[in-house]
A and B are shown apart, each in its own frame.
Chain A
Amino acid sequence: MNALQEQTIPLYGKIVDKYHELSAKDKPQLARQSAFHKFQLLGFPTIRHEDWKYTNITRFLKDEYALETSVVAPPAQLLAKAAIPGLDCYQLILVNGIWDGKIAGSPLPKGIEIHRVKDVLNKPGFAEYFANENWGNLHFAALNAALYTDGLFIRVSANVAIDKPLHIVHLYTSDHNLLVQPRHAWIVDRNAELSIIETTQSMSGETKIWVNGLTEIFLNGDAKLDHVHLQTASGGTRLVQQTAVHQKKQSLYNNYTFTLPGADLVRNDLQARLEEDHTETHLYGLYLTAGDQLVDNHTLVDHQRPHCFSNEHYKGVLLGQSTGVFNGKVYVHRAAQKTNAFQQNNNLVISKKATIDSKPELEIFADDVKCSHGSTVGQFSEDALFYLRARGIGEAAAKALLINAFAFDVTDKLKHAAVAEFINQQISHHIPVNHAG
């Protein structure tokens, strides 16, 4: 038990109360009970936990947060910026983790069903997706699983390829400090195909919003999912996002995570569990951090079976007094022979006051594998900067060109030109010289 945390962290007591309130209404599922006990055991992470060594969240836990999420109308300001220009898609808007049931763009085609988690979580055929607990010792995932009430359930039927991407817009707004815990379950059945683009935005203001999201993704045999997440929240927002992906035979999962300036804290835990043979996984990430942001990307590629391929490339650009953390774990089980696992993390530290902690972690128990990893930290190339300036390009424009060039390896991988364009613009928008120095 965490007696100390109970006394020092105001949120802790509220969590206990909320759990009892939820349990009083309905007899809690075993999974919820067990998650709550796990959270009680783990408590909030501190820098004494290896996985949180460089990510000190104490200051964010000093604020008090309410746990009640009421349905709010999406603020016009956020809605105006929500759409990705030129992207033909099905758009869903979630405000504080709650979907209003509407789909903009065109009606959904056959073969895909979308529900509010609230409506399905106890139903047969759905409940099983919320009974998992296989995200290891993730403190915040346990907390989410103990207290979640809503989110998005998406399922694509076997052999269906959805023609257009789903654009899931997450908007967060509140007039009081709030902890929001959306939980999503997305299933792509056998030989089906889906493309998901998530964008996250929040209102800036005095109020603090903590989003503790948990997304579980299930890819059955030969399924394909392309998954983009663009995190561009405002100051006052704290984002903790756990994503656990379960890959079956010959499935393909592509993840592209972009974290841009804004949120005070971003912690992503992305776990790809390669549970059957011949899977393919690509994890691309770009974090551009500014101000006094703390942005931490923890990834795990768990090679459980033979003949799987994984490739990971995360790039970081650090401005202001921001701190970046990259921790990339690749675990190759004894059974996972003929594994190909590659990992690369490159960082461009632009400001003298910015820091990056980059840590590749490879644990390999099979003997016939091909694995590599690399981590670099550098500054602007003075030679490149001078070359550009010697052609009449001002310092600011030259730096912007070089940052965009650095990010290019990642943005280049995006499948939809409109999304790439949108993200590139956001990147350019965040790199005036006043961030640097």
Chain B
Amino acid sequence: MLIIRNLHAEVEDKKILKGINLTVNAGEVHAIMGPNGSGKSSLASVLAGRENYQVTEGEVIFEDKNLLDMAPEVRAREGVFLAFQYPIEIPGVSNINFLKTAISEIRAYKGQPPLDAKEFLRLSREKQKLVEFDAQLVNRSLNEGFSGGEKKRNEIFQLAMLEPSLSILDETDSGLDIDALRIVSQGVNKLRSEKNAFIIITHYQRLLEYIVPDFVHVLYNGRIVRSGTKELALELEEKGYDWLKEEAREKETAI
């Protein structure tokens, strides 16, 4: 589904990603962990197409297409979804109008007929229930006045509505209490299927107790320094990141 080869990216001439290689297949859940400032969120931003990142080298192939050539909205329509670490509040744009616009643009892109109002309502009720998101959305501005937890749940609700093939969850667990974490995780677990894939970016192992990953990667200093299975996350929880940092530094000096 997604192949990242030797991806280098920078922001304002500062090198952030220094050669990422990663392959994600349909049906898989990949966790990306790493200390602060290692480039985890930058990777998510580059994949979603945030414009202040310049890709200087490498390529990203998404379902046999060059992802990096696409505008952010085209990536979304092709099936890439980024759950934001900090969802934006937009006063004056209603949650419902926002989702309707998004869905109708995605459907138009795929050549599907627009959803009628009734069908849209039915779908949004169903998905709200699925992700246990009971916030009143009609007549409320997008994320405005939502608590941190509500904003994150709104992200997962949008994910459920848009049914992307690749979802990237950027520190969705940050700022969540244990109940919200459980609800968000259950939502994601219900949405997992053979056809879609998830990249879960997290600082802590905690989230991975709820959403069990197939693979765990550790990002440090713009590179993936170690990959493994879910046991790697446990090892990190126990030992911290220092031993990996040490290893990475040794490797660099060896070169």
Contacts and interface: CB of A to CB of B under 8 A. Distances in A.
Interface of A: 381-384, 386-395, 397-398, 401-402, 404-409
A397 B101 contact: yes
Contacts of A408: 91-92
A386 B53 CA distance: 13
A381 B92 CA distance: 14
Contacts of B150: none
Contacts of A389: 49, 71-73, 76
B226 interface: no
Contact of B87 (A382, A387, A405): A387
Given A386-B50, A386-B51, A393 B90 contact: no
Given A386-B51, A390-B48, A390-B82, A395 B73 contact: yes
Given A386-B50, A386-B51, A392 B93 contact: no
21 contacts: A381-B88, A386-B51, A387-B87, A387-B88, A388-B102, A389-B72, A389-B73, A390-B49, A390-B75, A390-B81, A390-B82, A391-B98, A391-B102, A391-B158, A391-B162, A392-B103, A393-B73, A398-B73, A404-B93, A405-B141, A408-B92
A382 B49 CA distance: 13
Contacts of B17: none
A405 B71 contact: no
B98 A388 contact: yes
Contact of A391 (B71, B76, B141): B76
Nearest to B48: A390
Interface residues of B, number: 31
A405 B90 contact: yes
Contacts of A381: 88
Closest 9 CB pairs of A and B: A405-B92, A408-B92, A392-B76, A389-B72, A391-B102, A387-B88, A392-B106, A389-B73, A405-B93
Tell me what chain A mostly uses at the interface: helix, strand, loop, or mixed. Answer: helix
A392 B102 contact: yes
Contacts of A394: 73, 105
A388 B54 CA distance: 21
A151 B125 CA distance: 55
B27 to A, nearest CB: 23
A16 to B, nearest CB: 51
Interface of B: 48-51, 71-73, 75-77, 81-82, 84, 87-88, 90-93, 97-99, 101-103, 105-106, 109, 141, 158, 162
Contacts of B51: 382, 386
B92 A392 contact: no
A383 B52 CA distance: 11
B84 A387 contact: yes
B92 A406 contact: yes
Nearest to B92: A405
A387 B90 contact: yes
Contacts of A390: 48-49, 72-73, 75-76, 81-82, 84
Nearest to B107: A392
Nearest to B87: A387
A393 B97 CA distance: 11
Nearest to A392: B76
Contacts of B106: 392
Most chain A beta-carbon contacts within 10 A, residue among B48, B81, B90, B103: B90
Given A389-B71, A402-B93, A384 B102 contact: no
Contacts of A395: 71, 73
Given A389-B72, A395-B71, A401-B101, A384 B92 contact: no
A136 B50 CA distance: 54
A393 B87 CA distance: 16
